[in-house]
Amino acid sequence: MIKVRKSIHPCATDTWESIAARELAATPLDEGVASLQSWNLHVFSRAPAAADSPRAGNPILPSDLVFLEPPLSAQ
Amino acid sequence: MDIVIRNGNIVDGSGRPAYIGDIGISAGRINQVGHVSGHGATEIDATGKTVSPGFIDPHTHFDAQLLWDGAAKPAIEHGVTTIVPGNCSLSLAPLKAADRMKLVGMFNQIEEMPLVAFEQGVTWNWETFDEFVGRIQQDLTINVAPLVGHSVLRLWVMGQAATERTATATETAEMQSLLRQCLDAGAIGLSTSFVDMDEKLQPVPSRYADHAELDALCAVLAEYNRILQVVHEFYDIDLTIGRIDQLAELSLKHKITTTLSPLFINRGDFEGVDRVIARIVEQNAAGARVWPQVQTRPIDISFSFAVPSLLFIRLRGWYRVMRFGTPATIMAAFQDETQRQQLVQEATSMMPLWSALILRQVETEANQQYVGKTLAEIAELRGTDALNAMIDLSLEESLDAHFISADMGHNDDDKVGSMLRHPHVMIGASDGGAHILSFSTYGDTGYLLGHFVRDKQLLSMEEAIKKITSDTADIWAIPDRGLLKSGYIADITIFDANTIDRGPEYYVQDVPGDGHRYVRDAIGVETVIIGGAVAYDHLQGYSDEHRGQVIGAPQR
Ligand SMILES: [Zn+2]
């Protein structure tokens, strides 16, 4: 089997913080959030939802794939 | 017999070796293959020519064009007899009157279909999928197997909330029943997108759906044994593999076929592509059906500053000027010292790209001398750099200077050929009818048969034809098409295997509202039969026969 990078589908209300708290529970929150952001530039580099949106400030979309580990080449 | 094709080299779509024979056609179907003794009302001498099933193009965006052109020109001239529109989460139905302009905006942004074409080429007389099918069935020459777009289902059920949040349980159930109505009316499956942006550069509605919503819609596809098409994050290998796993899960759970496109094969990333294919093979071994689509043509992008171009999508300053500006404001931005400097600064790091651009077309006599030269060469002649030469030429031509960025990738013959041949790869992703201002999406099959089969000999003719006929029909559950076999519908392409190809790309004004697009003529395709009647002949052009069907739609 080829090695596949671990990822999740976010929940509807997920933020960087909620994913870090749930999936990287053993890591301090700040560190977990920073790691998630650096592993998910496809989400992090996106403009967050506009201020008048119910998702204001959150760039994570419900259809995203969010990686829980760095690229395999970096491991 | 209505038509008899005599003495052709029959490549029947099964992949088995070609042979010399006749084909008899009556009442729209093939009724004899081999020796035909009876006489045909029309006799076609195919001596020295290849006779194959009509080609099926599984990834197109001909949705809008079908409203003013039931032949989806020039698809048929290239031998294509069936197209799948409605890909990438976008279809023109079901669509409430109030949402029309929103969808037009998305088509304009994502597929580069001009707004004025919708204004002048479209009479909006449908809302439901069934009404849309009825609308395009009038004067239909090509066969259409339409997908219904996930973004459109969301828009119908959720209105503005479609681009804000996940669906409630009630809304999901409503989308399920709406999808059932579409499938009953003839939709071949559902399309969704994980990457596209709307006219405000915000994610399209389907991207606000969570996995549970997609799962619920796939449960409906399962009731009908229909396919799910996805456009995924094709620029990243790990994301592509993640999406393959997601599709495999849906495929196994619901026993449905899934396909993702496009899969590009770029130098420097062959290892990544091999991992993608290895994952596809593993998931297939586990029982899942996930088909990556690979296009035949290399990537190139043409543009002028008169319309927003894909090439600038990562340069925010440039893209905003092009996307939201008028010709006058774009010219003004180039003329304004400060703004020009900012733009130049933003794009300087990509100087190798600008230097390699070729000037392909200008209006003024004075600049004709530069046509065919790279911007690096032109810059040298003018004593400036490539970026400034591009801006200067655009100003001098009132933005009607056309540039091409050639060979941008997907152009390693051996590697692309091996992928096109791969048993787990579907040949597709032409994007026919889309991006009409960036490149020609027509002629990919001619390129396959001319370049990869005849010139490079990386596939046999039988293999290549099977890939774009019976394989595609099987994967998409299109019945009675894709083989030259008694009882099958007579969709047939007759071509010269020694000459078949795609012609050079050119810019033509044939879109409603005086719009332009890039097209390619076919070379070597002689006769195209659809539904048992000659639809196109290279000497006589298009006939008056309109035998195209919306596949899967109830007979009207
Ligand atoms: Zn598409």
What value of ipTM does the predicted structure carry? Answer: 0.97
Beta carbons of A55 and B164 less than 8 Å apart = yes
Least confident of B108-117, B128-137, B366-375: B108-117
- Specify the higher pLDDT residue, B543 or B109: B543
Q: How many Å lie between the centroid of ligand 1 and the Cα of residue B368? A: 35
How far apart are alpha carbons B163 and B205 in whole angstroms?
A: 5
Backbone angles phi, psi at B446, to 5 degrees: -60, -40
pLDDT of residue B148: 98
How confident is the model over B66-92, as pLDDT tens digits? Answer: 999 999 999 999 999 999 999 999 999
How confident is the model over B260-307, as pLDDT tens digits? Answer: 999 999 888 999 999 999 999 999 999 999 999 999 999 888 889 987
How confident is the model over B304-325, as pLDDT tens digits? Answer: 998 778 788 889 899 888 888 8
Average pLDDT over residues B247-267: 96
Chain A residues near residue B213 by CB distance under 8 angstroms: 62
Beta carbons of B210 and A2 less than 8 Å apart = no
Average pLDDT over residues A15-33: 97
Q: How many Å lie between the centroid of ligand 1 and the Cα of residue B430? A: 8
Confidence of residue A28 (pLDDT cuts 50, 70, 90): very high
- Structural contact between residues B68 and B136, judged by C-beta atoms closer than 8 angstroms: no
Least confident of B109-118, B160-169, B368-377: B109-118
Q: Is the pLDDT at A73 greater than 80, yes or no? A: no
DSSP state of B9: E
Question: Among B156, B105, B106, B104, which residue's Cα sits nearest to residue B127?
Answer: B156
Q: How many Å lie between the centroid of ligand 1 and the Cα of residue B399? A: 27
Q: Is the pLDDT at B331 greater than 80, yes or no? A: yes
pLDDT of residue B319: 87
How confident is the model over A34-66, as pLDDT tens digits? Answer: 999 999 999 998 888 888 888 888 999 999 999
Question: Among B204, B161, B170, B210, which residue's Cα sits nearest to residue A54?
Answer: B161
Confidence of residue B22 (pLDDT cuts 50, 70, 90): very high
Q: Is the pLDDT at A75 greater than 80, yes or no? A: no
- Structural contact between residues A33 and A17, judged by C-beta atoms closer than 8 angstroms: yes
- Structural contact between residues B2 and B27, judged by C-beta atoms closer than 8 angstroms: yes
Q: What is the DSSP string of B387-449?
A: HHHHHHHHHHTTT--EEEEEEEES--HHHHHHHHH-TT-EE----BTSSTTT---S-HHHHII
pLDDT of residue B275: 96
Both ends of chain B: CA-CA distance in Å? 26
Beta carbons of B241 and A4 less than 8 Å apart = yes
pLDDT of residue B316: 87
How confident is the model over B382-402, as pLDDT tens digits? Answer: 999 999 999 999 999 999 999
pLDDT of residue B194: 97
Q: What percent of chain B is helix, strand and coil (3-state, nearest 5)? A: 40, 20, 40
Question: Among B419, B18, B508, B429, which residue's Cα sits nearest to residue B230?
Answer: B429
Tokens of B269: 């990333």
Please give the angle made by the CA atoms of B218, B181 and B86, to the nearest 5 degrees. 65
How confident is the model over A60-70, as pLDDT tens digits? Answer: 999 999 999 99
User: Chain A residue closest to B196 (CA)?
Assistant: A63
- Specify the higher pLDDT residue, B190 or A12: B190
Beta carbons of A65 and B239 less than 8 Å apart = yes
pLDDT of residue A71: 92
Average pLDDT over residues B408-427: 96
Q: Is the pLDDT at A74 greater than 80, yes or no? A: no
Residue B208 near chain A (CB below 8 Å): yes
Beta carbons within 8 Å of B163's beta carbon, 6+ residues apart: B198, B202, B203, B204, B205, B208
What mean pLDDT value characterizes chain B? 94
Put simply, the chain B residues between 493 and 552 with a CB less than 8 A from any chain A CB are none
Confidence of residue B222 (pLDDT cuts 50, 70, 90): very high
Question: Among B152, B220, B146, which residue's Cα sits nearest to residue B187?
Answer: B146
Residue B322 near chain A (CB below 8 Å): no
Instruction: Name the minimum distance, in Å, from the CA of B315 to any CA of chain A.
Output: 13
Q: Is the pLDDT at B112 greater than 80, yes or no? A: no
From-to residues of CATH 3.20.20.140 in chain B: 55-298+411-478
Least confident of A8-12, B117-121, B243-247: B117-121
Q: Hey, where are the domains in chain A?
A: 7-74
Least confident of A24-38, B117-131, B232-246, B483-497: B117-131
Fold of B55-298+411-478: TIM Barrel (3.20.20)
How far apart are alpha carbons B164 and B417 in whole angstroms?
A: 42
pLDDT of residue A72: 83
Question: Residue B17 in 3-state DSSP?
Answer: coil
Please give the angle made by the CA atoms of B81, B83 and B89, to the nearest 5 degrees. 180
Pairing of strands B402-409, B299-303: antiparallel
Q: How many Å lie between the centroid of ligand 1 and the Cα of residue B552? A: 21
